[in-house]
Amino acid sequence: MSISRKVLSWQLSNTMDTHFCIAVLEEAIMKYGAASIFNSDQGRQFTSEAFLSVLQDHGIQIRMDGKDRALDNIYVERFWRSLKYEDIYIKDYQNMGELKEGVPRYMHFYNAERFHESLDYETPDDRCEGKFSVGELEKVA
């Protein structure tokens, strides 16, 4: 398996709304196909029947962080750290409007311009170029 670190789908919200999370999940599945495994923490939006049913309907195996599972979500946790330390803390956004303008720039930077040592100094977009097609996500996720 080749790790890409590419952020496939995202949106900003100031709520923990389940329907919001489902919309982002469905967008990623529509664009890239269904992954073989979905890993998340145990937040209520990810443990809701509605969210889990989308994963199950697509045959996606569900993993949730828990005891002795600290490394399962390491790539996502590293991404959040990068976003905070490379953008949010430095830019000191003062309101949701500023955040909604700034984070999309960072997301583009992260996927298309930021070199990753763990990817042999490629960007996530470079690593994934030409590799995504419906049903192929699990090969680069």
Q: Tell me how far apart the alpha carbons of residues 56 and 98 are, in angstroms, rounded to a whole number.
A: 36
Fold designation for 18-139: Nucleotidyltransferase; domain 5 (3.30.420)
57 contacts 25 by C-beta, under 8 angstroms:
no
User: Average pLDDT in the 67-91 region?
Assistant: 83
What number of other Cβ atoms are within 10 A of residue 61's Cβ? 12
Tell me, what's the pLDDT at 141?
39
Residue with tokens 């949010």: 88
Q: Tell me how far apart the alpha carbons of residues 81 and 100 are, in angstroms, rounded to a whole number.
A: 18
CB-hemisphere CA count at 13 Å for 32?
A: 22
Tell me: pLDDT of 55 over 70. yes
The two structure tokens encoding residue 54: 């989308």
User: Average pLDDT in the 59-79 region?
Assistant: 76
pTM given for the model: 0.75
User: Average pLDDT in the 71-91 region?
Assistant: 87
Strand partners, 122: 116
Tell me, what's the pLDDT at 135?
44
Percent residues over pLDDT 70 in the chain:
83
User: Average pLDDT in the 105-110 region?
Assistant: 95
Tell me: pLDDT of 70 over 70. no
